[in-house]
Structure 1
Amino acid sequence: MTTTGIPTAPLLSWSGARARRDAAVRTAAGAVLWGALLLVTWWWAAGGGVVDLAGWVTGITSLGRVTGLVASVLLLAQVWLMVRLPLLERAFGQDRLARIHRVTGFTSFTLMLAHIALVTWGYAGGSLPASPAMLWELTWSYPAMLLAVAGTAALVTVVVTSLRAARSRLRYESWHLLHLYAYLGAGLALPHQLWTGQELVSSPARAAFWWTAWGATAAAVLVWRVGLPLARSRRHRLVVSHVVPEAPGVVSVHLTGRRLHHLGAEPGQFLTWRFLGRRGWTRANPYSLSAAPDGRSLRITVQDVGDGSGSLATLRPGTTVLAEGPHGRLSPRARTRRKVALIGAGVGMAPIRSLAEGLPYAPGDAVVLHRYTDHRLFGHELDALAGRRGLQVVPLPGRRRHGASWIGDGVPPGVSDLAALQFWVPDLADRDVFLCGPPAWTDLVRDDLLRAGLPPERLHLETFRW
């Protein structure tokens, strides 16, 4: 038992083998995506698409076909990035998947709009004034086009609410709910593509490719976004054990359940939580583990940021919990070096605290840089780990020196953030670094880590972006 009453987790061994397998998965996933894009482009070219470019009207229509094909592949890829496939989750991590998903989504949406505009323009004989009437005719005359219009509207909703200006005005729960419309948009687009898209069904091989791709995608959604979370919740029967205040506006929720060693959670990961019996329980929130899983209990630490998180302080023991996950690559599986540096700020210390307890390391091989303003979250627990396991803890208290600084005012004014970092961790380039905190703060830390010589592949980052 630790001095905090949290059971000490069995230390996970590491060899870097999992990190190497994950790198192979990332390479394979990229190859599959590029292979699919090249395949549908080849089919378009082999079917006369390039020849059609020679004519004005046929060229417009042909470009419309190829943009639609590429948009369809990217739309499917977008769903796979959202589907919580464990293989991809472990290889990429949520932060990286989210970035790829964002680029893929905007690219797919842009190509989809180009497809609509170009095909309509081409069918209108290259006449822009006649294009609106042609769009109306296509919508009402072609099979499944109304469903495609509804799907497009759903995707427009997703894209608009994904813009930074819109996200800043939405609660996370509202944004998350609206973002699920991407599944609806993809599903409504399917009948149009398979019934009227000649490029998709003009040969048995093409028909098999597209039907298999869409079928596998639909099955993945049902299995990993619906079936697996429900099965895990039923199996593990998570309930709230007790709630402990940690700092003003910050609480830790302790949970117990059955067979938690089969959950597969690792230190530093997060799960998506629904606490039944409270208002808004249907809306899920991601919270990181703040203690290393021990097979019998879990702990998350949450800050009240006004999005429903404040109600967790009033949870009663015995409250039933639905959890989806675990997710995230801020975990031991990303590790490749013997020495590690753990850097966190605010409630971003939750996964850092979990890693400090659960990672295997010899005395002196792990250092924690703990940034805080007033309240040192998990301070006594980190001190206990320092005494028991030789963890080096560097507190960084106080307000930030200025807007471009990520450290506190305890550092002399003449010392740069980079110089301070190199003083605290002189062998930084030989370590794995795990970083978590608010986005603007982590951006500053990341820049200094890279300037200090840390290879980018050994920086393992998780932020609060959404």
Structure 2
Amino acid sequence: MTEQIPNISPPAFGVSREIPSGSPFKKQRLNAALVRCLCAVAFCAGLLFFVYLWVHDGAIVNLVAKPEGPLKYPGTLTGLISADLMFVQVVLMARIPCIERSVGRDRLVRIHRLSGFASLNLMLAHIVLLTTSYVVRDGRSMLGSLWWMIAEWRGMMLATLGTVLLVIVGITSSRAARKRLRYHSWHLLHLYTFLGIGLVVPHMVWAGSEFKRPWTQVCIVGLYVVTLGSLLVFRVAVPVLRSMRHRIVVERVVEDAPGNVSVHLRGRGLDKLRAQAGQFFIWRFRDGRGWTRGNPYALSAPPRGDVLRITAKEVGVNSSRLRMLRPGTRVLFEGPYGRFTGESRHGRKLTAMACGIGITPLCALLKDLDYAADEAVLLYRASSENDFVLRRELDELAQERGVRIVYLPGHRARGRASWQTEHAGEEDHIALQELVPDISEHDIYICGPDAWGRSAADAARRAGAPAKHIHLERFAF
């Protein structure tokens, strides 16, 4: 372990003062809480709507009145709830700005993943239960009943194809599959979710007895249109219009460390984006074949006027292309996204914990946030001394603003999940308490690989930091 404890000099900016109770950050947190509350209400309302349709169709009476009832009507309910979760998935993927800022990318990804697998499992249960119910009613075989449903029911051919696509997406979304897939390959496969949902949902209106009434058809079609519309507006129309308006281009490319490059970008009117340190964009550089693949990169410096900067490690085809970008290359973008910003802050003291390239949003935050000379700590782990990215800028922060920086060179611990290096002898939370004795008074910003980030967050909780003070941004998809 090496530690740099700088000579403290007056901070270049960020005068020490308490955050007032009526500060914009407090108001923004209240607004975020309101949005989260409204999202929860909307989710419950949607769920209750589908359950109401199921009850209103006589499901409870028929559950015991018909021989196939104990199988058919639970199967119908699982299908309805699965459809509701499909709509939820699309809304989560639409990146609606107020939801993105209020809930946060990390939490949205987890909710999306859980709702996706729940929806897929319920849909498969729907198929099995309905097919079995017709085996009981008609005496057919399982395959015979399944083929009869596909061949005779309106829209079932499309629904079958949609189901196959959703199963493929579900398989490739498992942790084991994601470890073997490059980001853009996984992302391309993930887009089939939209097509699968588009093929599955129509058969509900055509074949479901719950949607025989005109008002129920209007409701489900309206829900379908609004959900799809939000996706087209916020994932297609808004990014295209913003890219045309702000005309971002590459200004220059700089190598910060072996295998790491920073791309300096310039545009017009970028202050209107209201981007903040700690946020990320999805970038598409028009540098030739394959430019349509979007890649998420966080800002590695606070937005200043019409200038932005990102920093990336060359670990794949797309990130390696950054080095070859030429000045003037046009850029398309989506964003800004995420709530890994100062808006989440509860006090003045902060601890930043970074692993590898996870330093990029934390470097931007440390430059941007307001704190006194003894109120900020950075714990930075990397594989070796040469792998510390943006080290010159970090050392300048230590000298100019009094950030206490602890560099932790060394490979990750083997056989256990830990934020420390392989040679660390103490438990994670004890080591953290020794490095930051007043950790319970700090906001902790954590950014790095998934397993490392989870172990760092767990150590912070065990060290006494309140859960609401822990802000986690994981590099995972």
| Residues 171-186 of structure 1: pairs in structure 2 closer than 5 A | 171-186=182-197
2:389 matched residue in structure 1: 377
For 2:463 and 2:114, locate their aligned partners in 1 and report how far apart those are by CA, in whole Å.
29
Q: Give 3-state SS (helix, strand or coil) of 1:308's partner.
A: helix
2:117 matched residue in structure 1: 106
For 1:303 and 1:330, locate their aligned partners in 2 and report how far apart those are by CA, in whole Å.
20
Q: Aligned-pair distance for 1:442?
A: 1.6
1:5 matched residue in structure 2: none
Q: Give 3-state SS (helix, strand or coil) of 1:53's partner.
A: helix
Q: TM-score by structure 2 length? A: 0.90
2:8 matched residue in structure 1: none
Contact persistence 1:9–1:292 (CA under 8 A)? no
Structure 2 residue 159 is matched with structure 1 residue 159: no
Equivalent AA in structure 2 for residue 286 of structure 1? P
Write the deviation string for residues 360-403 of structure 1: whole angstroms up to 9, x where unpaired.
22332222112222222222212222333332322223345655
Q: Aligned-pair distance for 1:38?
A: 2.0
Any stretches of 5+ residues in structure 2 without a counterpart? Answer: 1-11
1:38 matched residue in structure 2: 48
Q: Work out which of the residue numbers 146, 154, 161 in structure 2 matches 1:143.
A: 154
| Residues 17-416 of structure 1: pairs in structure 2 closer than 5 A | 17-54=27-64, 55-126=66-137, 129-202=140-213, 204=215, 206-372=216-382, 373-375=384-386, 376-400=388-412, 403-404=415-416, 405-408=418-421, 413=425, 415-416=426-427
For 2:44 and 2:164, locate their aligned partners in 1 and report how far apart those are by CA, in whole Å.
28
1:417 matched residue in structure 2: 428
How large is the Cα RMSD of the aligned pairs? 2.2
Write the deviation string for residues 249-293 of structure 1: whole angstroms up to 9, x where unpaired.
110011101111012211011111111123321111111110011
Equivalent AA in structure 2 for residue 330 of structure 1? F
1:427 matched residue in structure 2: 438
Contact persistence 1:397–1:410 (CA under 8 A)? no
Q: Aligned-pair distance for 1:440?
A: 2.2
Q: Aligned-pair distance for 1:50?
A: 1.0
For 1:381 and 1:128, locate their aligned partners in 2 and report how far apart those are by CA, in whole Å.
74
Equivalent AA in structure 1 for residue 289 of structure 2? R
Write the deviation string for residues 188-216 of structure 1: whole angstroms up to 9, x where unpaired.
12321222222134352x33321221111
Q: Aligned-pair distance for 1:408?
A: 4.1
Q: Give 3-state SS (helix, strand or coil) of 1:344's partner.
A: strand
Any stretches of 5+ residues in structure 1 without a counterpart? Answer: 1-7
Contact persistence 1:396–1:410 (CA under 8 A)? no
For 2:226 and 2:125, locate their aligned partners in 1 and report how far apart those are by CA, in whole Å.
27
Q: Give 3-state SS (helix, strand or coil) of 1:436's partner.
A: strand
Contact persistence 1:400–1:408 (CA under 8 A)? yes
1:3 matched residue in structure 2: none
Contact persistence 1:10–1:294 (CA under 8 A)? no
Contact persistence 1:303–1:309 (CA under 8 A)? yes
For 2:242 and 2:476, locate their aligned partners in 1 and report how far apart those are by CA, in whole Å.
26
Contact persistence 1:288–1:300 (CA under 8 A)? yes
Q: How many correspondences in the alignment?
A: 456
Provide closer, same or farther for how the CA distance between residues 136 and 402 of structure 1 changes in structure 2, counting only shifts above 3 A: closer
Equivalent AA in structure 2 for residue 245 of structure 1? E
Provide closer, same or farther for how the CA distance between residues 149 and 422 of structure 1 changes in structure 2, counting only shifts above 3 A: same
**Range with greater deviation from structure 2 (232-241 or 270-279):** 270-279
Q: Give 3-state SS (helix, strand or coil) of 2:201's partner.
A: helix
For 1:99 and 1:128, locate their aligned partners in 2 and report how far apart those are by CA, in whole Å.
43
Q: Give 3-state SS (helix, strand or coil) of 2:289's partner.
A: coil
Equivalent AA in structure 1 for residue 470 of structure 2? L
Segments of 4+ in structure 1 off by > 3 A?
8-15, 123-129, 398-405, 408-411
**Structure with greater contact order relative to length (CA < 8 Å, sep ≥ 6):** 2
Provide closer, same or farther for how the CA distance between residues 351 and 314 of structure 1 changes in structure 2, counting only shifts above 3 A: same
For 1:393 and 1:166, locate their aligned partners in 2 and report how far apart those are by CA, in whole Å.
37
Q: Give 3-state SS (helix, strand or coil) of 2:393's partner.
A: helix
2:7 matched residue in structure 1: none
Provide closer, same or farther for how the CA distance between residues 201 and 425 of structure 1 changes in structure 2, counting only shifts above 3 A: farther
For 2:107 and 2:170, locate their aligned partners in 1 and report how far apart those are by CA, in whole Å.
19
For 2:255 and 2:319, locate their aligned partners in 1 and report how far apart those are by CA, in whole Å.
13
Identity of aligned residues (%): 43
Provide closer, same or farther for how the CA distance between residues 126 and 455 of structure 1 changes in structure 2, counting only shifts above 3 A: farther
For 1:9 and 1:210, locate their aligned partners in 2 and report how far apart those are by CA, in whole Å.
54
Q: Aligned-pair distance for 1:444?
A: 1.9
Q: Aligned-pair distance for 1:126?
A: 4.1
Contact persistence 1:60–1:126 (CA under 8 A)? no
For 1:279 and 1:203, locate their aligned partners in 2 and report how far apart those are by CA, in whole Å.
48
Contact persistence 1:371–1:397 (CA under 8 A)? yes
Provide closer, same or farther for how the CA distance between residues 396 and 341 of structure 1 changes in structure 2, counting only shifts above 3 A: same
Equivalent AA in structure 2 for residue 207 of structure 1? Q
For 2:187 and 2:311, locate their aligned partners in 1 and report how far apart those are by CA, in whole Å.
21
Write the deviation string for residues 419-462 of structure 1: whole angstroms up to 9, x where unpaired.
33112222211221110011222222112111011122221111
Equivalent AA in structure 1 for residue 244 of structure 2? R
Q: TM-score by structure 1 length? A: 0.92
Contact persistence 1:346–1:371 (CA under 8 A)? yes
**Range with greater deviation from structure 2 (316-325 or 123-132):** 123-132
For 1:279 and 1:10, locate their aligned partners in 2 and report how far apart those are by CA, in whole Å.
45
For 2:139 and 2:183, locate their aligned partners in 1 and report how far apart those are by CA, in whole Å.
41
Equivalent AA in structure 2 for residue 183 of structure 1? F
